[in-house]
Amino acid sequence: MLFRIDAKPNRLTAWTLSWFLFASGIALYFYTSNKRHIENPEDKVIPNLTQLSQGVTDAFLKPDTEEAAPEGLENASLPKKFLTSMLWTDTVASAKRFAWSMLLLIPAVVLGLHMGMFPVFGQFFLRFILFFDKIIALSVLPILFIAFGIDELAKIMLIVIGVTPTIILDTFNLTKSVPSEQVVKGFTLGAQDFGVAYSIVLKQILPRVLNSIRLNLKSIMLFLFAGEMIASQDGLAFRIALLRRHMGMNVIIPYVLWVALLLFLVDLTMRVTNRKLHPWFREA
């Protein structure tokens, strides 16, 4: 029986099940698109395969129409066309903001660890972080633009404000979950305060902290997109917002799928890295 707790599908069944929803979604999309195009051949809301192909070509091989195309681009190779395309330009711009935001999460992990290990840090920061975590990041977006302008810093600060408190509190709770007997054992074996914190506690909670950051990737991109859509001259979200005004669904859909693919690859990289660094760790 397929619907049993102890059921173990074979490789073919597992492969079929894992791709079934993808195939169903694609089939439903093209069925709906075909139906709409029968009624209106010029429909742009749900582009057909021809329109999507043109959109993919425009996104992956053509530069931003607002910028002057480099000389000789028509005869350039496909890699060179891609590296000058609007998709690549927007990806690089968003990736830089994303990378800075990820780097700024490292101090959040350190602070959460210190709050959990050192009572003075905990008493000093905990109540403030708990309150700060309840502030809706998007509500302070106008304040950020007034304080930092509409340049890169405001967008990065939006991501930090939106995600950092969660990472701090999660690290704090994970630190508190480490059995006190292990901390006492570390002191018994001659370790000092920071040795216990970094060599015993951090090493135990680090795989779960990485999982916490991995599960917040979507939130990071959400705040990044919010900043880019409101005030930016480049970036993936900026392009989507710009195309929305012209009903450019044939380019918007490839952009959305591209963003999902990039996030999936980042997630996969973090999972593989976590598994390599901590082979003893098994997710619940």
Q: Domain for residue 208, yes or no?
A: yes
**284 has a pLDDT exceeding 60:** no
* Domain shared by 158 and 35, yes or no: no
**72 has a pLDDT exceeding 60:** no
* Domain shared by 102 and 222, yes or no: yes
pLDDT tens, residue by residue, 8-48? 888 888 888 899 999 999 999 999 999 999 999 888 889 99
**167 has a pLDDT exceeding 70:** yes
Q: What's the pTM value of the predicted model, to 2 decimals?
A: 0.86
Q: Domain for residue 166, yes or no?
A: yes
* Domain shared by 18 and 153, yes or no: no
**67 has a pLDDT exceeding 70:** no
Q: How confident is the model at residue 280 (pLDDT cuts 50, 70, 90)?
A: confident
* Domain shared by 228 and 149, yes or no: yes
**216 has a pLDDT exceeding 80:** yes
Token pair listed for 262? 């990039």
pLDDT at residue 159, rounded to an integer? 87
Sign of CA dihedral 33, 250, 229, 245: negative
Q: Domain for residue 56, yes or no?
A: no
* Domain shared by 96 and 17, yes or no: no
* Domain shared by 23 and 123, yes or no: no
Q: Domain for residue 77, yes or no?
A: no
Token pair listed for 242? 């710009």
Average pLDDT, the chain: 87
CA angle (62 as vertex; 61, 68 as ends), nearest 5: 145
Q: Domain for residue 73, yes or no?
A: no
**94 has a pLDDT exceeding 70:** yes
Q: How confident is the model at residue 202 (pLDDT cuts 50, 70, 90)?
A: very high
pLDDT at residue 10, rounded to an integer? 84
Length of the chain in residues, anyone? 284
Phi, psi of 234 (to 5 degrees): -160, 175
* Domain shared by 34 and 134, yes or no: no
Taking residues 102-129, what's their average pLDDT?
Answer: 93
Q: Radius of gyration of the chain from Cα atoms?
A: 24
Which residues, 6 or more positions from 69, have their beta carbon under 8 angstroms from its beta carbon? 63, 84
pLDDT at residue 69, rounded to an integer? 55
pLDDT tens, residue by residue, 82-93? 888 889 999 999
In whole angstroms, give the CA distance from residue 216 to residue 59.
28
Q: Domain for residue 80, yes or no?
A: no
Residue 185: give its domain's CATH number.
1.10.3720.10
**68 has a pLDDT exceeding 70:** no
Decide: helix, strand or coil at residue 143: helix
Q: Domain for residue 100, yes or no?
A: yes
* Domain shared by 32 and 164, yes or no: no
Taking residues 96-112, what's their average pLDDT?
Answer: 93
In whole angstroms, give the CA distance from residue 249 to residue 246.
9
**106 has a pLDDT exceeding 60:** yes
Closest by CA to 159, choosing from 208, 203, 101, 114, is 101
The enclosing H or E element of 100 equals: helix 86-103
pLDDT at residue 65, rounded to an integer? 63
Domain count, the chain: 2
* Domain shared by 189 and 135, yes or no: yes
* Domain shared by 135 and 194, yes or no: yes
Q: Domain for residue 125, yes or no?
A: yes
* Domain shared by 135 and 264, yes or no: yes
Residue pair 49/43 in contact (Cβ under 8 Å)? The answer is: no
Helices (H), 177-216: 180-188, 193-195, 202-215
Domain that holds residue 112: 86-277
* Domain shared by 36 and 148, yes or no: no
Query: What is the DSSP-derived secondary structure letter of residue 135?
Result: S
Amino acid identity, residue 132? Answer: F
